[in-house]
């Protein structure tokens, strides 16, 4: 694979991931300070680490206890690399343990806010007030600091809340500076990166775009690249980035499966064809998609049919493009990590994306994945810098199978019309009241039931629309959004009055877990 981790970054801070739920957060905090960081396996070899040429290392937290026989360990040789090491929570305990300290269960499990008292002046604590709040989440703590350690900060229950080794460049904090509950956590990262590791902080999205453009040109040469455009954030940013890199060598294919939101196709066509002047092929496949879906009500079956049809249409279009050797995909860093292949030294994996599942193998394309190092917020920044319109960059996620998984039951042209019109009203009101950017995902769902209502003087027997609105940071968990009642009232009144065939609107107040965000 052409893609080598860490090879093209002047400054890298590898994070040895011991399984903390906050590991990705640490990487994001470091990147926010302009230094590239990536998660690596905790047992990474010293040779592999040397290859990354790190400016420093961070040992993450984790759920284990260092004195358990099978607790994850790292090579003690990391302290001989000659670069500073920062241990966070479990990482601090492990460092102290490897350097001769004793770790025992704390008298009480600490979870929540604690008062930190700075007692040692040091580059790590520079600029911290004498007392500040930190977030604790641990059951063990360092009990006896080895003689070569010096304490830098304490809390009422934790005598060594921050410490450093006198001769080795090892620093440890028992709290979590990466979470927002530690208000001065940023200062600690700044101190570690700039004061201690002497980083320059040059990793910016502007630099990323320049390097990425160069890498794509080197990878594809004169060949053509096909990009499946869905109108979502990731595929749109990939298209804009590739267009900047290789211009007319890029061909975008947009499959209209007949399951899109109202005016969705127009948005994609005007943005990419008219504004960016990108070579865009639109295939209107509404008829075959709806024919195949007719009478199908089982959600997984719907997904399978849509996936299969998509590959058929995409393949036919791709085969007509001469000289196409590459397929571009919007794989992001969390996809890479989740597939279990995000760690240095392991083969790069292809995310089985809902829309380009089996394509690379079937068509013999090589993959171009220019965003595979980035988190979602970084992708949005790249999109803004490339000049993508706000309504694409900040777009809520939209499922690959489209409205088919938001119509419970049979997908018909008539039911699609009802849902499209209702959904448009929901989004219009959301944007009007300035709530689009404050929510993570908001949409309408058409339920497979009729309910009795009174329309005019007659009793009606019509459909029910559910409104789903959630707030979420990472989409792993989500809470239902507290949209003000008067705005919900407007949505409901408009849907019932303007959408023929709906006489009832309900609001979904379930959180994820246990409920998923989508209904199907």
Active site residues: 89, 176, 178
Question: What SS3 string covers 117-161?
Answer: EECCCCHHHCCCCCEEEEEEEEEEEEEECCCCEEEEEEECCEEEE
DSSP 291-331: HHHTT---HHHHHHHHHHHHHHHHHHHHHTSTTEEEEE---
Distances (CA, A) of 144 to 78, 117, 163: 22, 19, 12
Sign of CA dihedral 328, 330, 332, 335: negative
Q: 423 in helix, strand or coil?
A: helix
Tokens of 381: 């920044």
Question: Which residues, other chains included, contact 374 with Cβ-Cβ below 8 Å and sequence gap of 6+?
Answer: 208, 332, 333, 382
Q: Is 341 left (phi over 0), alpha (psi -120 to 50) or beta?
A: alpha
Question: Which residues, other chains included, contact 76 with Cβ-Cβ below 8 Å and sequence gap of 6+?
Answer: 98
Question: Which residues, other chains included, contact 360 with Cβ-Cβ below 8 Å and sequence gap of 6+?
Answer: 327, 350, 366, 367
Residue 502: CB atoms within 10 Å: 23
Best CA proximity match to 136, nearest among 203, 197, 88, 74: 88
């Amino acid at each position: 694979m052409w893609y080598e981790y860490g090879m093209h970054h002047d400054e890298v801070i590898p994070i040895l991931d011991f399984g903390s739920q906050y590991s990705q957060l640490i990487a994001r905090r470091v990147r926010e300070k302009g230094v590239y960081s990536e998660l690596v396996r905790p047992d990474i070899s010293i040779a592999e680490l040397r290859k990354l040429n790190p400016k420093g290392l961070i040992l993450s937290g984790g759920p284990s206890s260092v004195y358990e026989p099978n607790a994850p360990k790292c090579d003690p040789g990391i302290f001989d690399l000659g670069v500073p090491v920062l241990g966070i929570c479990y990482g601090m305990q492990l460092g102290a343990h490897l350097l001769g300290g004793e770790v025992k269960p704390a008298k009480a499990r600490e979870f929540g806010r604690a008062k930190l008292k700075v007692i040692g002046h040091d580059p790590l604590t520079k600029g911290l007030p004498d007392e500040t709040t930190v977030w604790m989440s641990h059951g063990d703590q360092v009990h006896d600091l080895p003689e070569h350690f010096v304490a830098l900060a304490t809390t009422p229950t934790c005598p060594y809340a921050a410490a450093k080794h006198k001769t080795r460049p090892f620093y440890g904090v028992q709290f979590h500076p990466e979470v927002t509950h530690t208000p001065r956590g940023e200062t600690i990262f700044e101190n570690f990166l700039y004061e201690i590791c002497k980083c320059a902080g040059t990793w910016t999205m502007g630099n990323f775009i320049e390097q990425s453009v160069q890498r794509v040109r080197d990878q594809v040469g004169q060949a053509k690249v096909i990009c499946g455009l869905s109108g979502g954030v990731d595929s749109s940013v990939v298209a804009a980035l590739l267009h900047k890199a290789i211009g007319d060598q890029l061909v975008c294919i947009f499959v209209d499966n007949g399951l899109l939101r109202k005016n969705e196709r127009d948005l994609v066509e005007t943005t990419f064809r008219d504004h960016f002047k990108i070579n865009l092929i639109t295939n209107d496949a509404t008829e075959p998609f709806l024919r195949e879906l007719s009478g199908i009500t089982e959600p997984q079956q719907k997904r399978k049919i849509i996936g299969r049809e998509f590959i058929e249409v995409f393949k036919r279009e791709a085969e007509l493009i001469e000289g196409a050797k590459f397929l571009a995909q919007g794989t992001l860093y969390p996809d890479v990590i989740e597939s279990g292949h995000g760690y240095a030294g392991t083969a790069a994996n292809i995310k089985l994306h809902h829309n380009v599942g089996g394509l690379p193998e079937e068509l013999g394309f090589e993959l171009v994945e220019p965003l595979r190092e980035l988190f979602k917020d970084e992708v949005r920044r790249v999109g803004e810098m490339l000049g993508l319109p706000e309504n694409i960059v900040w777009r809520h996620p939209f499922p690959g199978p489209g409205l088919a998984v938001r119509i419970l039951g049979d997908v018909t042209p008539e039911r699609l019309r009802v849902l499209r019109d209702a959904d448009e009203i929901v989004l219009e009101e959301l944007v009007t009241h300035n709530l689009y950017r404050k929510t993570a995902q908001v949409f309408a769902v058409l339920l497979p039931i009729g309910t009795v209502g009174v329309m005019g003087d007659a009793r009606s027997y019509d459909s029910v629309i559910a409104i789903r609105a959630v707030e979420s940071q990472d989409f792993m968990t989500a809470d239902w959004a507290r949209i003000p009642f008067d705005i919900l009232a407007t949505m409901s009144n408009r849907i019932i009055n303007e959408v023929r065939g709906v006489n009832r609107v309900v609001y979904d107040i379930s959180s994820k877990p246990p409920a998923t965000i989508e209904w199907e």
